[in-house]
Structure formats: structure tokens, C-alpha cells
Amino acid sequence: MFYPLGFTQQSTVTSLGRMVYYTATEMPWKTPETLTGKTLPTLLFLHGFGGGSSAYEWSKVYPAFASEYKILAPDLIGWGRSEHPARDYTPEDYVTTIAEFIESTCEEPIVAIASSLTAAFTIRVAVKKPELFKGLILTTPSGLSDFGGDYINSLFAQIVKTPVLDRVLYATAVANPVGIRSFLEQRQFARPNRIFDEIVEAYLESAQQPNAEYAALSFVRGDLCFDLSLYIPQLRVPTGMIWGKKTQFTSPELGKRLAALNSEAVRKFEQLEDVGLTPQLELPGVTVGVIRSLLRTLAIA
């Protein structure tokens, strides 16, 4: 099990299948003092994409908020323990299912805390259905084709488009311990010595689920990429951004360009030193502190 003490697995149904999520239902979070019927505000934690991604990505952060908020941490469709339809995924699949998840599990507007490409999808959900949100806190939001950038034409994306070879690459370069560790070192962490065995094991469990290759290959082929700069000017939900200074492929300079497109909505840009794409795994204690600060700054606590 890779979810924290006191959290249990639940699920809800979306148009693409069942989504598993984790929420606090047991001790130490559900004590006699908290079982008063009082409705807590909701924090929704959404993981990013990559070989073996899942709700585990936020599992070192969200327990810090469990005594004050209702916590929801889902595995997105195609990832973790949620259903894995055998299909070529599109951005619309995730915009739709994220909205459906919120509508089925939340009665009041929520604060979404989301990572990388999923953070970009969450912006699109917020543009389409702003009534679902009180605020957004986003780590490295990027559509990976921002400002006309074209990841889809990169050499790696073109290689992965080759039928049969794509499945071989997934099995040999992603869905094994060496591939997972290499991905984390090259893509997500500033310092490899911060990658401990549990992280690799959690990513590997997700990567080896039946049909897990479909969502992962849609991601690395570039099928899920889009230009986030076209959507940020439409955003009206209070938003804070967190950006690791050593993030690969999506630099803080890109983040500042995106944030500058809508200073009314994007009210705070926080750059973290000595951290990569996933500060929530690399420096979880720091990430907790920054999220708390942003909740106050955005007045969405």
C-alpha cells in the first residue's frame, strides 16, 4: 500500500470508467472531535503524467492538511488503480473526467492543487466551469506546446509513434525499476539522491497495471500536448504557481511568461531553488509550507 495512514481507497464513475481516489476516513484524522457533521473545505490533489504516475505523487503532502480539509487524491483515468481504457487519449478526455470527478465528489467549490500537464488541464476545466473552484495552486503548469512550441515533432515523440516499437519501449524503458528511476532522475528530480526505493516501487506498481501503456504512450507521443498560453488569459479563478528552478524542459522563464498573461488571476508565482518538476516528492515539507502560504495569499483557505 502506498497511501498514508488513515486514508482509504474509494471510487466514483466517470464517462471513461471508474476513478479511484484516496480520502481520510480513519484515525488519526477521524477523531471524535472531528465527527461533528461540520463540512470541511475540500483540497483536491491531482497528479501529473509520466511513467507510473499516480496519486502517490502527493502522498507526502496531503496528510499535512487532513485535519483541516476534506482531502481527495485521485488516480486519473489510465493511471494508478483507476480504470485503464485501451484507447488513444486526448486532452478532452482529461478535461472531461476531471470535471466529472469534481462534480460527483464535491458539493461546494474546491481548491485544486495540481501538477505539470494535469495542472494545465485543470486550468482548462476552470476556464470551462469556474463555478467548481475557489482557487488553484499549480506546480509547473504547462501544456508542453506553449507559445507555439512543438514537442510533438521531437525525435523521441516521433520514435514512440512507431507501432509495436512503442510497446517495446514502454516495457523496456519505462515499466521496470531501471526505467522508472532513470525517468525520475532525468525528468522530475533536481537531485537523484532524493529518490528513495519507495518512490520507485510506487511508480512501478502504477506502470505495470494492465493497459497502463495506453495513457503513458499518449503522453510521450505528444497526443496530450496543447498550447496553454491560449487558455490562461481566459482564467478567472484565483491562482498561484509553484515552479522548481531546475525543472527540465519547462523552465521558470516559461512559467513567468505564462503567469504574465493574466496577472489578475495568477496572483503569485513562487520559484523554488534546488528542486525539479515535482517538489511535492522532492521537498514535501517545503511544498506544504508554500501551499499554506498560497492558501493565505490567495484568500482561499
Spell 75-111 as b/e; 16+ CB within 10 A means b. bbbbbbbbbbeeeebebebbbbbbbbbbeebeeebbb
Q: Residue range 145-164: average pLDDT?
A: 64
Q: Which residues pair with 226 in a beta bridge?
A: 144
pLDDT of residue 207: 93
The beta strands (E) that lie in 63-207 are given as 70-74, 110-115, 133-139
Q: Residue 156 contacts by C-beta under 8 Å, 6 or more apart in sequence?
A: 220
149 vs 221, which has greater pLDDT?
221
pLDDT of residue 175: 82
Question: pTM for the whole thing?
Answer: 0.94
Calpha distance 147→143 (Å, rounded): 10
Calpha distance 120→116 (Å, rounded): 7
pLDDT of residue 149: 75
pLDDT of residue 215: 94
pLDDT of residue 36: 60
pLDDT of residue 161: 59
* Segment among 22-36, 47-61, 159-173 with least mean pLDDT: 159-173
Contact present, 217 and 160 (Cβ < 8 Å): yes
pLDDT of residue 160: 54
Instruction: Quick: pLDDT tens for 66-87.
Output: 999 999 999 999 999 999 999 9
Calpha distance 189→9 (Å, rounded): 28
Is a pLDDT exceeding 90 seen at residue 96?
yes
pLDDT of residue 174: 79
Domain boundaries, the chain: 7-297
Q: Residue range 114-123: average pLDDT?
A: 98
Is a pLDDT exceeding 70 seen at residue 150?
no
Is a pLDDT exceeding 60 seen at residue 142?
yes
Average pLDDT, the chain: 91
Percent pLDDT > 90 in the chain is 79
Taking every pair of C-alpha atoms in the chain, what is the biggest distance, in angstroms? 57
Confidence of residue 47 (pLDDT cuts 50, 70, 90): very high
Instruction: Quick: pLDDT tens for 238-285.
Output: 999 999 999 988 999 999 999 999 999 999 999 999 999 999 999 999
Q: Which residue, among 99, 84, 17, has the nearest Cα to 52 in the 3D structure? A: 84
Q: Residue range 41-52: average pLDDT?
A: 94
pLDDT of residue 249: 82
7-297: CATH topology is: Rossmann fold (3.40.50)
